[in-house]
Amino acid sequence: MAEAWKGPLQKVNDWRWLIPRSYKKGMLTDGMIYASEKMISAIRKDQAPEQIANVACLPGIVGKSLAMPDIHWGYGFPIGGVAATQEKGGVISPGGVGFDINCGVRVIKTNLTEEEVKPHLEKLLTLLFTNIPSGVGSEGKLSFSIPELEKVMEKGARYIISRGFGFSEDEENIEERGAMEGANPEAVSAKARERGKDQLGSLGSGNHFLELEVVEQVFRPDLAEAFGLFPGQVIIMVHTGSRGLGHQVCTDYLQEMQKAMSRYDISVPDRQLACAPCDSPEGRGYFEAMACSANFAWANRQLITHWVREVFEQVFQKSAPALGMFILYDVAHNIAKWEEHEVEGKKMKLCVHRKGATRAFSAGHLALSPRYREVGQPVLIPGDMGTGSYILVGTELAMKETFGSTCHGAGRVMSRSEADRRSKGRDIAGELKERGVLVRAESKATLREEIPEAYKDVGEVVEVVERAGISKKVVYARPLGVIKG
C-alpha cells in the first residue's frame, strides 16, 4: 500500500488545488491540481502530489507544475502531469513524456448506426481481432526494413499513407499532420530500431485497445455537427503508442541524462526526473529520438486504421469512403513539443511536456487544420472498457492556464497487480457481456488487470475539466465491443 501524501493543498476553488512553492526547498513555482473535492482524498492516497512538487523544481520551468484530474503515480512526472520549460535555461526530461512515447488516441468515424452494426458485431470483432495483432510483444503483419523504418521515423503517418495505407486527407486530421518536425533517426539506437521494426501495425498490451462505440449523448449539437458526429452513430477508437521503440528510446536517454546532469550542474529531487538542457547535445538528441518515436506511433495507428477499414469493407460490402470511415482526429498524450504560448503577457517558445495529458487547442489556433480552426481541436478521452468515452473541444482558457492541455483518460486508481488480485476467479468478459459490451482479449490476465473498477470514473474526470473551463464536452460514446491486447 502506497504511503498517503500529507503535504499542503490550498483550495483555490471547487476545481483547482494549489501546492504552494513554499512547501519544498527547490520549488521554482507552485503546483496546481485540477480535481473535485471528492477526488482529492483519492489523489492524496499516493505520492503523485509529491511528484508535482518535484516537477516544480525543474530548471527553467515557467507557469505552474500542473496535474489533470486523471493524475496518478508515474515515473518522474505523475501521469496527468503538464510542465513547460524555457528554450534557454530550460530542460527536457524523458520522465515528462514517459516510456510509451506518443501513446495516443484516434477516432475513426462511420456513417453506420448501432442498429446497422449490432447484427454484425461478433463478426466485426472476430475479424478485427484476427487482423490487428495485439498482446505483449505482438508483431505487425508487415515487416519493415531498417531503411523503411527510418522513413517511418522521419515521416510518420505521411509515409504510411504514401505507401497506400490510407486516404490522402487522413493527415489533415492528425496532430502534427502525423509527422513531428525535428525527427532524426540517427539519434535512435540500434536496439530501439530492432525492438520497433516488426511491431508496426500492432496494438500491444496493457491499457491499449480498439473499441467500437456508439454516440449516445450530444452535449453541444453545433460542435458535434462540425465534427461530423450524430446520435446513434458508430465510431471506432484506437488507443496505442510507439511500442518497443519508444520504450527503448526513453530507457536509453534516461541513462544518458542521469550521467549528464552533473556536467550541467543540474540537481533534481528525484533521479527519475533526469534531464538535460533543451539546447544541449543530450537534450537535442532526446528530442530528435522522441520525435522519431512519436512518428512511429502515428504510423502505427495509421496501419491499424487501414486494417479497420478493410474489415468494415469486408463485412458491409461497401468501400470505406462509402461507409464514411474518415478520421475525426488523432491526439498524442505522452509527448514533449515546442510550442509558442503567452506567459505573463509575453510570448515565449516553450518545451511543453504532456505526460498522460492531451493537447486541447482553442478555435483560431494556427496549429489546427482548417477543418477545426473555426471550432477548436477535438479532444479524445477514453474511459475504461465498461463505461465509454468522451469527445471534447479545446478552449481559450486552456491556452491561458494549461498551455492548451487537458486530461487524457480516466486514470488508474488500482495497480495492475491489485486489480489482478481483486478479480481472481471472475469472468470479466461475461460480466461485460451482461452490460452489453463484447470483449476479445489476447489473455484473461489482461482483462483482470483492466477491470473497470481499476479506473476512476471518466465522467467525473471530464466533469472537472468542463467545470474548470479547460475543455468542453461535445459527445459521450458508449462501448459496444472492445479488443484488448
- In angstroms, rounded to a whole number, what is the distance separating the alpha carbons of residues 145 and 355? 31
C-alpha cell recorded at residue 111 = 456513417
| 96 closest CA partner among 82, 86, 116 | 82
Let me know if 306 is a catalytic residue.
Answer: no
Q: Which of 72, 208, 333, 408 is catalytic?
A: 408
| 358 closest CA partner among 100, 32, 81, 40 | 81
Residues 6+ apart with CB under 8 A from 429: 439, 441, 444, 447
Whose cell is 544518458? That residue is: 256
Instruction: Give yes or no for a contact between 408 and 69, defined as CB atoms under 8 angstroms apart.
Output: no
- 3-class SS of residue 406: strand
- In angstroms, rounded to a whole number, what is the distance separating the alpha carbons of residues 450 and 443? 11
Residues 6+ apart with CB under 8 A from 232: 113, 114, 115, 214, 215
- In angstroms, rounded to a whole number, what is the distance separating the alpha carbons of residues 52 and 67? 7
**Side-chain-facing half-sphere of 210: CA atoms under 13 Å:** 31
- In angstroms, rounded to a whole number, what is the distance separating the alpha carbons of residues 14 and 40? 11
Instruction: Give yes or no for a contact between 481 and 211, defined as CB atoms under 8 angstroms apart.
Output: yes
Catalytic residues: 408
